[in-house]
């Protein structure tokens, strides 16, 4: 189960190996997704029961949840469906970001916590397409909302949309913060290098970051951070 760089890398490795028959699953929401190597299926399964039925019908023997750290529903469904079929399950979860010298982060548990935080006047909102509705009732700040595809649901009244797909350089991010006179950055603790430049830029420009914590993973299954470890785990299942 993919939608991440890690999932694509793992599919690339495994689909080239004899004895491994891989299918990647994507939610199918991004208009122009970067497709992994090998077989791909698109779209939701219809809840944990739908996923269980799909796994059984397709003779799946091992489940790897390499979804985004904020795809908490999918991770939970993977745990339920794999457990009900007695299938081995691995979560691939990249580490979150950590605060460095010069950073001023306000950690909040979720989107509602971010919307309730002291946000300043000009907010750079980089939380992806979903969840912007949590800020819709905020009439005072102006928001620069960046996502790959247009956000879903209600939007705050004062905003500008910036549709763009990373990676971005710290230099470009810094220019954007300055040009738009941003005084706070709101982001999810997604981790990874592809979208880290905005944090570097916020540090350089000296603005605070409201950092939204990840949802907890379901207990019980193995968890790795690195693609190489996921591949080792998968090989062990085959052996």
Which residues in this chain contact ligand NAP in the complex, by CB under 6 A? 1-4, 25-27, 29, 44-47, 50-51, 67-68, 70-74, 77, 128, 130, 188
Which residue shows structure tokens 């799909």?
54
Minimum Å distance from CB 116 to ligand NAP?
20
| CA nearest to 134, candidates 59, 186, 63 | 186
Minimum Å distance from CB 146 to ligand NAP?
13
Nearer to ligand NAP, 47 or 206 (CB): 47
Minimum Å distance from CB 54 to ligand NAP?
9
Minimum Å distance from CB 88 to ligand NAP?
18
Minimum Å distance from CB 189 to ligand NAP?
10
| CA nearest to 199, candidates 177, 227, 214 | 177
Nearer to ligand NAP, 55 or 144 (CB): 55
Measured over the CA atoms of residue 9, residue 11, residue 16 and residue 20, the dihedral's sign is positive
Report in angstroms the alpha-carbon separations of 144 from 31, 49, 83.
21, 39, 42
Nearer to ligand NAP, 158 or 214 (CB): 214
> Where do the DSSP E strands lie in the chain?
23-26, 39-42, 63-65, 89-92, 105-108, 122-126, 142-147, 159-163, 184-188, 209-212, 222-224
Nearer to ligand NAP, 102 or 153 (CB): 153
Nearer to ligand NAP, 72 or 88 (CB): 72
DSSP at 166: S
Minimum Å distance from CB 26 to ligand NAP?
5
- Which residue lies nearest ligand NAP, judged by its C-beta? 44
Minimum Å distance from CB 92 to ligand NAP?
10
CB proximity list for 229: less than 8 A, separation 6 or greater: none
Structure tokens at 111: 């989107």
| CA nearest to 218, candidates 50, 83, 53 | 83
Nearer to ligand NAP, 1 or 183 (CB): 1
Nearer to ligand NAP, 38 or 158 (CB): 38
Distance of CA 43 to the CA centre of its chain: 17
């Amino acid at each position: 189960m993919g939608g991440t760089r890690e999932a694509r890398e793992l599919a690339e490795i495994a689909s080239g190996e004899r004895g491994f028959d891989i299918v990647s699953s994507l939610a199918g929401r991004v208009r122009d997704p970067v497709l992994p190597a090998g077989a791909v299926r698109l779209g939701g399964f219809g809840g944990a029961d739908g996923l269980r039925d799909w796994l059984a019908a397709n003779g799946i023997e091992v489940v790897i949840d390499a979804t985004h750290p904020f795809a908490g529903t999918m991770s939970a469904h993977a745990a339920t469906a794999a457990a009900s079929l007695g299938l081995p399950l691995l979560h691939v979860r990249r580490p979150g970001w950590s605060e460095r010298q010069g950073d001023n982060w306000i950690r909040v548990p979720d989107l509602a916590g971010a919307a309730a935080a002291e946000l300043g006047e000009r907010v750079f909102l980089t939380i992806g397409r979903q969840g912007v509705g949590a800020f819709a009732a905020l009439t005072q700040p102006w928001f620069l909302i960046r996502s790959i595809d247009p956000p879903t649901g209600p939007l705050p009244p004062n905003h500008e949309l910036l549709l763009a797909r990373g990676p971005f350089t710290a230099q470009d991010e810094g220019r954007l913060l300055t040009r738009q006179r941003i005084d706070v950055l709101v982001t999810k603790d997604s981790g990874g290098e592809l979208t880290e430049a905005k944090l570097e830029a916020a540090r350089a420009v000296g603005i605070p970051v409201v950092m939204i914590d990840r949802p907890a993973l379901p207990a019980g299954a193995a968890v790795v951070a690195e693609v190489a470890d996921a591949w080792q785990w998968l090989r062990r299942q085959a052996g």
